[in-house]
Amino acid sequence: MATIRSVAKLAGVSVATVSRVLNQRGYVHIETEKKVLKAIKELNYTPSSVARSLNNKKTNTIGLILPDITNPFFPELARAIEDVMQIYGYTVVLCNSDGSVEKEQEYIDILKQKYIDGIIISTSNFVIDQELFSQIPIVTLDRHVTSEKIPSVEGGNYEGAKLATEFLLSTGCKHIAHLQGPETIRNARERRDGYIDVLKAKGCFDGNLIVAADYDIKKATKVTFELLERDSSIDGIFAGNDLMAIGALKAIQMHGLRVPDDISVIGFDGIALGEMIYPELTTIAQPIYDMGAIAARILVKLIEEVPLESTHHKLDVQLVERRTTRRLST
C-alpha cells in the first residue's frame, strides 16, 4: 500500500512537502505541487485519517460518554446528539462508562489519543479538571460538574421533583414515598431535595419514606415491595426516574394493590416506554431530545471557536399526567 514516503520518493521531494500539499498548509511551488499530485495519483495514495488529524488537528469525530445505554433515557439522548453532529459533519463515538469514574477517565484518555475534536459527557461525579478542558472541548450533559468554564445542559431536577410531589399532594395523597437514584449522582440528590422541601413545607416529611433504588428497575421492585410490607399507609410514590417507577408498579401489583386507586405513582424522565406500559405512567418529562441537541450545538461552537451566548443551560421539565395517578381532587 502506498505511503506518504513512497509518494515523496516518487515525486523527489521531502515527506514534509507532501504533507503540506495534502493539508494545503504552508508554501509549495506550483511545479512541486504538480509533481506530488502526479505521484499521489500514480500510486493511488490515500492519506490515513490519523495522518490527516496529526496535521490539521481535526478528525471531525467527537466522543460521547454516557453511563449506560440499556437505560432507555440515554439512547434518546444519544440520538439527538448524533442527529445534530451529523448536520455539522461530525461522527460520534459512543462510550458506556457504567457509572464508573475510573472508566470515564480511561475513555477520555483513549479519545484524546485518537485526536477526537471534543467530548460530551454525562458524568457520574467525575471531576473534570480545568486543565483537561483547556486541552479538549467538553460539554457536560444531564449529569454535570460544578465548573464556571465547562458548559453544561441539564433538566430542572429540583423543580421537577417539587412539581411531582406537589401534584401527588393535590390529588389527595398523604403518605408519599420517594425512590431515590444513586447518592453519588447530583441530579438524584436534587430530585430527592425537591421532594423533601415540599413535604417539609407541608409539615408531613418522614425520612423513613425515602428508599434508595439506584435508578434501577429491579432494585425499585425489591425496595418498594419491602417498603409496602412495613408501611401500609403509603398512598403515593415519586420515583426519581421512570425505570424505578415501572419497577414500583410491579411491586404494588405483587401486593395485590391497585394503581392509582390504592397507590399513585409518578416517575421522572419521560422515556417512550412510559406510554407503552399499562397503566400508562404519569411522569415529569425531561426535554431529552432538546437537551442532547443543545449540548451537541454547544460542542460544535467550542470546536469551531464560535463564542457561546451562555455556558449553563437548565431546561424546563413538564408534568405529563397519565393513568398511574388519581385525577386532581376537586
Instruction: Report the interface residues with ligand RIB, using CB under 6 A.
Output: 71, 73, 142-143, 187, 215, 241, 243, 268-269
Cα separation, 228 vs 208, in Å, equals: 12
Minimum CB distance to ligand RIB smaller for 17 or for 123: 123
Cα separation, 187 vs 314, in Å, equals: 12
Min dist CB 268 to ligand RIB, Å, is 6
**Among all residues, whose Cβ is closest to ligand RIB?**
241
Minimum CB distance to ligand RIB smaller for 107 or for 215: 215
Min dist CB 115 to ligand RIB, Å, is 29
Indicate the length of the chain as a whole number. Answer: 330
Minimum CB distance to ligand RIB smaller for 160 or for 260: 160
Tell me the three cell numbers of residue 179: 425512590
Min dist CB 131 to ligand RIB, Å, is 26
Minimum CB distance to ligand RIB smaller for 39 or for 284: 284
DSSP code of residue 122: -
Sheet holding 210-212: strands in order across? 210-212, 176-180, 236-239, 264-269, 282-285, 318-320
Cα separation, 62 vs 118, in Å, equals: 5
Min dist CB 68 to ligand RIB, Å, is 8
Minimum CB distance to ligand RIB smaller for 118 or for 274: 274
Min dist CB 267 to ligand RIB, Å, is 9
Closest Cα partner for 127 from 148, 146, 100? 146
